[in-house]
Amino acid sequence: MKTLLKKLTETASPSGYETVIREMIKAEISTLSNEIKVDPLGNLIVTMGKKNAKGLRIMVAAHMDEIGVIVSHVEKTGLVRFSNLGTILPQYLPGSRVVFLNGTRGVINQDKPDDLHKIVGQDKHFIDVGATSDKGCPVKVGDVGVFDRGFMELGKRVSAKALDDRVSCAVMIETMKKIKNSPHELAFVFSTQEEVQSKGATTAAYEIEPDLAIALDVTPSLDILGIKMQVDLGGGPAIKVRDVGMLSDPRVVRWMEDTAKKNKIPYQLEVLEVGTTDARVMQISKAGMPAGAISIPCRYVHSPSEVVDMNDVQATVDLLTVLLNNPVSLQ
């Protein structure tokens, strides 16, 4: 999947501007289903199969947007001030490069700090695009961009921007190729605007009305920091128990755990104290539904150089495939 991951992560499509990544994904999956559509909020929804007497309507969501920047002000010196699309962590900003959707590139740095040893807020940073005046600046208020960082192989691991959540998009694409005689009606949703309050998954779940919902996303791997509540890189996909936005249905957690054990797929359990996923909004859509999430361990989340282990990625494909190819037993 490295070739696919490189294509997906090197595409610039921040929240609200998913057209380019959506068209790339659409081309990848065009032969897998005759039911492919784009809804009014830009979600790419792919329906596969019909549910039989033992089947369910299952929605699987992976968000295709990425965090980004949006120009808020251009100073007379030509330096660009910016706001965020999604959560941007200030410690990753100085020295980072960005590319705007109009092709303009720039480098981020910060105002002179009062204390060189302290992290300053996002509002104290600017983007230098090489302009010497506001009138000569190639970007204007409202222009958007993303981190400018290429895909890099690190042995069995890879680094790139936007692995959150393009790696889950790749997992979903590979899983779709492996669906054989599933008893379920499967709605695969490449969702929009997850980084800005899961807007795409909210409307998609409302329309689809699934019997069961699964979100695919990354989760911070904090093993290198020695934090007790952790998910280890290389330890297998993490079955979500809780995050700050939701409690997974215990029946869904048991079903995922039992399936992983039965098929000898490595897995971990996730209790996350920061962040949430599309599962939060799917779980409470309309009258509500059983929901859970499978998370891919990722180091340096929301940085220009996120890192995942390809063994975890493949194990996530394996787990999701066997979950969807067989009847669901929620007890």
Query: Which residues belong to the active site?
Result: 194
CA–CA separation, 277 and 29 (whole Å): 23
Task: With CA atoms as reference, report the closest residue to 279 among 203, 223, 202, 218.
Answer: 202
Residue 115: CB atoms within 10 A of its CB come to 7
Distances (CA, A) of 231 to 91, 269, 272, 301, 302: 22, 8, 9, 13, 17
The DSSP call for residue 210 is: -
CA–CA distance, 173 with 177 (Å, rounded to integer): 7
What CA–CA distance (Å, rounded) separates 155 from 158? 7
Classify residue 138 by its DSSP letter: S
Residue that the structure tokens 């695919």 belong to: 216
